[in-house]
Amino acid sequence: MDDRDLFSYDNSGNLEETGETSFDLNSFSSHTENKTGGKKTKRKGKRKERILRAVLTVFLVGIITVSIVISAFLLYAFTMVDGSMDENLDDLKLNFTTTIYADDGNGNYSEYQRLHGQFNRIWVNYDKDKAKSGDITYDGIPQNLVNAFVAIEDKRFMDHNGVDWKRTFAAFANMFLHFYSSNQGGSTITQQLVKNLTGDTSQRPSRKIREIMRARYIENHYVKETIIECYLNTIAMGHGTYGVEVAANYYFGKNVKDLTLTECACLAAITKSPTYYAPDDHPEENKKRRNTVLWEMYDQGYITKEQYEKAKEEDINLVASKEALKENENNTYFVDALIDQVIADLMDKYGYEKNHATNIFYSGGYKIYATVDNKIQGIMEEVFSDSKTYGLKGADGTTLQGSMTLMDYNGHVRGIVGGIGEKVGKRSLNRATSAKRQPGSTMKPIAAYAPAIEDDIIHYSSIVNDTKTNYNGWTPVNWYNSYWGNITVQYALERSVNTIPVYLVNKLTPQKSYDFITQKLGITTLNSEDINLSPLGMGGTNGGITTLESAGAFAVFGNLGQFHKPTLYTKVTDQHGETVLQYNSEPQMAISEDTATVMNKLLQTVVYGSHGTGAGAKGYIKNMKIYAKTGTSNNSNDLWFVGGSPYYVASCWCGYDKQQKISNAGIAHKMWGAVMSKVHADLEPKEFEVSSYAVEKYYCTSTGNIATTACPSKAIGWYKKSNVPPLCTAHSGDAAATPADVRKAEAEAASKAAASSSDAAAASSAASSNQ
């Protein structure tokens, strides 16, 4: 039988050869009819046939259309859409929080403060092998946290190639057919990472296509370990936090490495909707979803039934505090200065514009290892916030201001303040780094005496003439309005005579003096108008000096001549630990160590000499010597006190923002002393290191030469061994014993006296026993 015979029908619906009743495939109805109702039944059958044909046609057209759409979609996606990504996941350049770390005094750095722009997130590494092995030294993302996110967000993450087609088509179909009660997310972890990196969140189909292609690109170029690491470091976690590290800090007050299983589930529960599932705002909703996360982890084999049951019943210890994020509404003056220095160094090293360097600072995820000492910074802030004691009112009613920089002898700034009174806000005026004020007599040691001793123009007890002298129409005048004639260099410095340093700068030449302080001592704030006798000899500068640079310059007198540029950090690294900036700790020899020793001893007489201008500071540090210099600018508009102990050097300035006379001439050394006395309160006594190339001798106070036994008046002086004055010839006699010999003889005599006293006591005791 041919095909026609099998599938051809007569009008009655019977097969032509067999005469059997047929089932009509076109109408799905029997054509058996009686003669009386045949016409009516035929019309009804034809109508059903037309409807069925129409339905089948629509169905086939739909299939063809869907096939064409899918084909067009695939053709468009794979040929027209650029799915590549500029971001390098191995070196991700996103906005990350910058963190400042401070040394606890034992070489251990702890978090001090965080600074960030729009995004508050801190990068933390993920090492799958270490995380799974339970390595106690591992401080990255724990495996439980990874498992929690995968279990609830993308359980086929380890198997798909960036797109879970099953979920994608299910989500797409649900938009029209509503299989589920709510819209279903079809995005994989990889696709979510694409959104986090690109910020592309539009609802257009083209965005979804780009997302899919980019997810496939990422999967083809990076391993799963890198993808999940980037995802967990970029995901939004509510309350302005991004990434699991900052989320762990905020919600639990701990680092992500220390999270419990329950806490891991808690964080994973947030991501579906941070505003709805945040455990602090919606604890019950978070708990329900948290338990769902735990169930999925158990169901997918990540945890045991026992772990599931235990974690489900465990309560979380919620902190939910911004304080845990180490963010401050007001920066300290130290942090403000640190920001400025790092930005400036980024500009200097990498050639960045200031705006770019600033943006990178706040968003680069830097780790800055600061030099701040928390205790010292706290002491300085406490003293300077006391406006009742130190905030003197000026003639115009404004409050006295001040600044202070304290540093060690390695150039590390340990504390800094830039104003008197409570600091308000971030990035406010920091006078310690920005206020360039006339240094007054604090200029004399660095611009006149030190280079003159270095060049052997003078020594400790050189006789110099305090007399009225005209220098091309200008005559320096002493603060005491007279002249004392021949005096020693030591006395000139102790009494802060003006004529002698001017004389020395003239001998050196102003240019050489200027070059010395700018090239050897790091003074950067002067200008060409300061290459003159008055600015360099008496401190009446045009450019001015800050306490930061003043402290750095004076440090050479307590550091055997070594200059370290003041720094507020030792190292800056990026989020991956690569060094961005490194402080150069190698010192520059500004002056020889014997010159430094001589200057140190000279400056001690400013404090301990009978006429020293800094005598009021002698009681601040009772068990150690200090060296110092006072300074007063014209009309007492600026007051300075700069000095150092064997531990630290500090520079303190006081003045009004709008210059006017300061009523209390001792205010600067009082503030310096208030800080330094507290800083040194618990420190062990210590002495300044003395150069082996310097020697201590008695000198004749009338001639300045080495004293003889006949000199009527002697004093102790310190000299470079290469520049010791001759023996005094005005008074005959042998050379006087050295101070060291005198001390040795006195010690021996005291020892003999003690021994004799002990022998006498023993003899007396023996005699009493014999009685």
Q: Which of 195, 237, 242 is nearest to 214 (CA)?
A: 195
**Amino acid at the residue 538:** M
Are residues 762 and 717 part of one domain? no
Residue 116 has pLDDT above 60, yes or no: yes
**What is the model's pTM?**
0.78
Are residues 539 and 457 part of one domain? yes
**Mapping DSSP to helix (H, G, I), strand (E, B) and coil, where does residue 412 land?**
strand
pLDDT at 364: 86
The pLDDT tens digits of the residues spanning 486-536 come to 999 999 999 999 999 999 999 999 999 999 999 999 999 999 999 999 999
Q: Which of 541, 521, 362 is nearest to 440 (CA)?
A: 541
**Mapping DSSP to helix (H, G, I), strand (E, B) and coil, where does residue 402 land?**
strand
Are residues 165 and 74 part of one domain? no
Radius of gyration of the chain (CA): 43
Residue 541 has pLDDT above 90, yes or no: yes
Q: What is the mean pLDDT of residues 396-415?
A: 97
Q: Average pLDDT of the chain?
A: 87
Q: What is the mean pLDDT of residues 547-575?
A: 97
408-411 long-range contacts (CB < 8 A, ≥24 apart) are 408/647, 408/648, 408/649, 409/555, 409/558, 409/559, 409/562, 409/564, 409/648, 409/649, 410/564, 410/585, 411/552, 411/555, 411/564, 411/565, 411/566, 411/567, 411/583, 411/585, 411/587
Give the whole-angstrom CA distance, residue 299 versus residue 293: 10
Are residues 521 and 477 part of one domain? yes
- Determine, yes or no, domain membership for 38: yes
pLDDT at 13: 41
Residue with tokens 């601040």: 620
CB 83 within 8 A of CB 210: yes
Residue 542 has pLDDT above 60, yes or no: yes
Residue 9 has pLDDT above 50, yes or no: no
**Mapping DSSP to helix (H, G, I), strand (E, B) and coil, where does residue 438 land?**
coil
Q: Which of 209, 158, 157 is nearest to 167 (CA)?
A: 157
Residue 298 has pLDDT above 50, yes or no: yes
Question: 413-417, 649-653, 733-737, 754-758: which has the minimum mean pLDDT?
Answer: 754-758
- Between the alpha carbon of residue 618 and those of residues 639, 666, 679, the distances in Å are 18, 13, 15
Give the whole-angstrom CA distance, residue 237 versus residue 250: 10
Question: 392-396, 456-460, 592-596: which has the minimum mean pLDDT?
Answer: 392-396
Are residues 770 and 703 part of one domain? no
- Determine, yes or no, domain membership for 107: no
pLDDT at 534: 96
Are residues 539 and 467 part of one domain? yes
Q: What is the total count of domains within the chain?
A: 5
The pLDDT tens digits of the residues spanning 654-671 come to 999 999 999 999 999 999
- Determine, yes or no, domain membership for 687: no
pLDDT at 14: 41
Q: How confident is the model at residue 1 (pLDDT cuts 50, 70, 90)?
A: very low
Are residues 459 and 514 part of one domain? yes
Q: What is the mean pLDDT of residues 299-311?
A: 96
Q: Which of 28-42, 84-98, 429-443, 749-763 has the highest mean pLDDT?
A: 429-443
pLDDT above 90 covers a percentage of the chain that reads: 64
Range of the structural domain that residue 452 is part of: 438-544
Residue 676 has pLDDT above 80, yes or no: yes
CB 366 within 8 A of CB 344: no
The pLDDT tens digits of the residues spanning 571-629 come to 999 988 899 999 998 999 999 999 999 999 999 999 999 999 999 999 999 899 999 99
pLDDT at 17: 40
pLDDT at 317: 93
Give the whole-angstrom CA distance, residue 466 versus residue 477: 10
pLDDT at 122: 86
Contacts of 201 (CB under 8 A, 6+ apart): 195, 207
Q: What is the mean pLDDT of residues 277-302?
A: 95
Last residue of a domain, one of 80, 108, 142: 80
Are residues 770 and 699 part of one domain? no
Q: Which of 622, 99, 172, 132 is nearest to 361 (CA)?
A: 99
What is the phi/psi pair of residue 95, to 5°? Answer: -80, 110
List the CATH number of the domain containing 209: 1.10.3810.10
Are residues 445 and 539 part of one domain? yes
Are residues 725 and 769 part of one domain? no
Give the whole-angstrom CA distance, residue 720 versus residue 460: 9
pLDDT at 74: 55
Higher pLDDT, 14 or 355: 355
Are residues 754 and 732 part of one domain? no
- Between the alpha carbon of residue 345 and those of residues 349, 389, 408, 413, 414, the distances in Å are 6, 37, 21, 16, 19
CB 110 within 8 A of CB 101: yes
475-480 long-range contacts (CB < 8 A, ≥24 apart) are 476/502, 476/533, 476/534, 476/537, 476/538, 479/632
Are residues 506 and 461 part of one domain? yes
Q: What is the mean pLDDT of residues 391-415?
A: 96
Helices then strands, each counted (H, E), the chain: 28, 18
The pLDDT tens digits of the residues spanning 182-202 come to 444 568 888 888 888 877 665
Residue 12 has pLDDT above 60, yes or no: no
- Determine, yes or no, domain membership for 474: yes
Neighbours of 308 (CB within 10 A): 20
The pLDDT tens digits of the residues spanning 132-159 come to 988 889 999 999 999 999 999 999 899 8
Contacts of 159 (CB under 8 A, 6+ apart): none
- Determine, yes or no, domain membership for 418: no
CB 653 within 8 A of CB 440: no
Residue 4 has pLDDT above 50, yes or no: no
Give the whole-angstrom CA distance, residue 212 versus residue 194: 9
pLDDT at 11: 38
Q: How confident is the model at residue 357 (pLDDT cuts 50, 70, 90)?
A: very high
- Determine, yes or no, domain membership for 65: yes
| Lookup: tokens for 267 | 């964080």
The pLDDT tens digits of the residues spanning 161-185 come to 878 767 666 655 555 555 555 444 5
pLDDT above 70 covers a percentage of the chain that reads: 84
Last residue of a domain, one of 528, 544, 560: 544
CB 496 within 8 A of CB 527: no
Question: 75-84, 185-194, 287-296: which has the minimum mean pLDDT?
Answer: 75-84
- Determine, yes or no, domain membership for 423: no
Residue 21 has pLDDT above 70, yes or no: no
Beta-strand relationship, 569-573 and 627-632? unpaired
Q: What is the mean pLDDT of residues 531-551?
A: 96
Q: Which of 509, 514, 513, 508 is nearest to 527 (CA)?
A: 514
- Determine, yes or no, domain membership for 228: yes
Last residue of a domain, one of 235, 250, 280: 235
Q: What DSSP line would sit under 79-97, residue for residue?
A: HT--------GGG----B-
